Amino acid sequence: MKIVGVAACTSGIAHTYIAREKIVKAAQKLGYEIHMETQGTIGTEDELTATDIKEADFVLLAVDIKVNGKERFTGKKVVEVPTNTAIKAPTKLLKTIVEKLGLNGG
């Protein structure tokens, strides 16, 4: 399972980076490959490449604001949730997404 995503909150400080960290740890625990971009106060970090996006099974947007470059995900399965959802229950979130999208969890 390959996942790419973007984390961004209204202030671009705490929730952006906490959401990213929680999602990455949960994905790794589940044995998934993941690359999360952040869009915070200091700009975009760990920017997703076209290859990252192409190879992904789905895109997870843990965001509270409009993200830059959303058009990059055209044609991909995109799931958008608030950062709080990603922070509070990241493992449950990922399992639910995989199940609802009908993907193999491996």
Closest residue by Cα to residue 79 from 90, 52, 46, 21: 90
Looking at 41-98, which runs of residues are DSSP E strands?
43-45, 58-63, 78-81
Which member of 3, 8, 9, 93 is catalytic? Answer: 9
58 carries an active-site annotation: no
Residues acting as catalytic residues = 9
